[in-house]
Amino acid sequence: MAAIRGHRLIMAAGFALLVFVSGCGTPDRITLLPDPDGKVGTVVVRSAKETKVIDQAYASVDVSQSGSIEETPGSASDVKARYGGLLAAQPPRPTTFTINFVFDSATELAPGSAATVEKLKATLASWPAPHLTVVGHTDSVGSDEYNDALSLQRAKSVAAFLIKSGIPARQIETAGRGRRERLVHTPDGVPNQRNRRVVITIQ
């Protein structure tokens, strides 16, 4: 959520409840924005007098000092014209990349992962001061102890690549989850390439 001079721009893919206490002469304006995928949630705006629900993209409500709430329609062009600079100044939304590994390896990438690495590098090149969370995973072959160690080795292998690419080590967190969070739920002892992965979240 971004705010400027009593105006709040709310990006809600779920449900949000906002409680306002009027304390100035100008009304508070709340505008509902869709998320990057175009989904629109619901915002409940409540004052001492009224409650209104907005669930349309770019719709706004004004909350007056007396507590009355007035709804006004809006459009993407209206919001861009008024608040384009503010929206452009927001940090990028977190994004995730998944790199897969061959069986029993912490360094050899599975076919197709090289393209993901290139996309990751391109994203990092334009991301201001990124913080990365790197989490390794395994499939269900092997013991818990072995898979815990292997998943952490995979995460550290990716972290080393990121550091070599110019990301300071202090901006990278690593963890290994072993086989606890399988992407594809298989019985124990069944190999699956999609589960042998490292998930990198940039924020």
pLDDT band at 158 (very low <50, low <70, confident <90, very high): very high
Q: Which residues pair with 149 in a beta bridge?
A: none
Token digits for 125?
Answer: 């090149």
In this predicted structure, which of 44-48, 151-155, 194-198 has the lowest mean pLDDT?
A: 44-48
Give the domains, in start order, of the chain with CATH numbers. Answer: 2-88 (no CATH), 95-202 (3.30.1330.60)
* CA end-to-end distance (rounded Å), the chain: 16
Position 25 scores a pLDDT of 60
Whole-number Å distance between alpha carbons of 29 and 72: 10
Rg of the Cα atoms in the chain = 23
Q: Among 127, 137, 50, which residue's Cα sits nearest to residue 95? A: 127
Whole-number Å distance between alpha carbons of 12 and 26: 25
Q: Taking residues 138-145, what's their average pLDDT?
A: 96
